[in-house]
Structure 1
Amino acid sequence: MMNIAPFVKERRKQLKLTQTELAMRAGVGLRFVRELEQGKSTLRLDKVNKVLALFGAEVGVTTLVEK
């Protein structure tokens, strides 16, 4: 499973978007995109999903297997 921060950064670069362009397309602030790509741990899930939706992805629940 890939972490969100590198996923967003890699996809953004593949699409040749700046952080500003990504923020505008997703309807979020530039600061939010920067914090998302830096891996900030306290971000609003609804905004994370707005960004991920541009890449055909979303945050969801995964069941953990007990060890």
Structure 2
Amino acid sequence: MTEKTPLINFVKDKRKLTGITQIELAEKADVGLKSVRDLEQGKKTLRMDTVNKILALFGAELGPIETKRKNE
């Protein structure tokens, strides 16, 4: 079972709020349907440029997030 990450939730929620299907999202973002499905299903290895094309439709982009290290 795949853990729902903030990225997965963001994309699914925004897509559903705008009322578009995965197929429509892929077309609008100019990416393959498989890329949209892989993202929403939590695939661990995705191309950043592909993810950013999808996120750009919702006014977002990937960026660094600082996390605490185990020894801190």
TM-score by length of 2: 0.84
The structure with the larger Rg is: 2
Alignment of 1:1-67 (within 5 A): 3-66=6-69, 67=72
Say how many residue pairs are matched.
66
Question: Deviation of residue 62 (structure 1)?
Answer: 2.0
Q: Secondary structure at the match of 1:39?
A: coil
Task: Name the amino acid aligned to 1:31.
Answer: K
For residues 51 and 67 of structure 2, the distance between their equivalents in structure 1, rounded to whole angstroms, comes to 22
Unaligned runs of 5+ residues in structure 2 are none
For residues 51 and 6 of structure 2, the distance between their equivalents in structure 1, rounded to whole angstroms, comes to 12
Task: Name the amino acid aligned to 2:19.
Answer: K
What is the percent sequence identity of the aligned residues? Answer: 55
What RMSD over aligned residues (CA atoms) do the two structures have, in Å?
1.2
Unaligned runs of 5+ residues in structure 1 are none
For residues 63 and 6 of structure 1, the distance between their equivalents in structure 2, rounded to whole angstroms, comes to 20
Question: Deviation of residue 65 (structure 1)?
Answer: 3.8
Please list every run of at least 4 consecutive aligned residues from structure 1 whose deviation after the TM superposition is greater than 6 angstroms: none
